[in-house]
Amino acid sequence: SFPVPASTEMGKDIDPRLVRVEYTPSGQSSPDLLDNTSGANDCASGGWYYDDPQAPTSITLCPDTCSQVQSDEQARLQIALGCECETDPDCPMGTVCENNKCIDACFEDADCPGGFICLEGHCVPEPGDPCTTDTDCPQGLVCVGGQCSISGIFVGPEEAVQGGAFNCSYRAATTDQPKPSWWALGLALCALGLRRRGSRAHPRRHGRRTS
């Protein structure tokens, strides 16, 4: 098992309902989302569970998941704390990620307020205003060739921030090397005393919107 950090350790409030356990098997670039089960008696399909769902102090991998973790030494296991989402693929079908929350996606410009257009499910400021620098443009636009334009405003999975105690989602990756503080997951990732990385173990996949 692995201790859930107190808010004082993180320097911010933590919502245990929004914790995600992500597994990236060796040879795979994008992670699978492991299922959060109701407890130790609900481990038939693998996954992980809290010691107390109402006031959790630790996360424990189900036995089958733990065994697969131990057998996949080149994989990566991450615990993402505190955010509902970081990028659009984290959200269910028909929704997108904005400000770390899953919201309904737009499908056409008419779904957006005046002065905004629909782009890849997001309502963004309509481009076209003259500019000299990016600061002359509305939030979400950049100055290109003297005109406010849409450019790189969405964070793809390959760009997601992977750490930092003051980011909305603090990720702790497993490691064979000892680490200070609560996130030394290599010391205690499962009840059997795991010291190695990763697990494919029965991922739960969200529905994803194709951008």
User: Closest Cα to residue 191, out of 64, 60, 73, 70?
Assistant: 60
**DSSP tag of 106:** P
Tokens of 9: 């350790």
The reply to whether the predicted model has a pTM over 0.75 is no
191 pLDDT above the threshold of 70:
no
Q: Give me the pLDDT at residue 148, please.
A: 78
Say if residue 151's pLDDT is above 90: no
Average pLDDT over the chain, rounded to an integer: 68
Q: H/E element holding 104?
A: strand 101-104
Top-ranked range on mean pLDDT: pick from 41-45, 116-120, 156-160, 167-171: 41-45
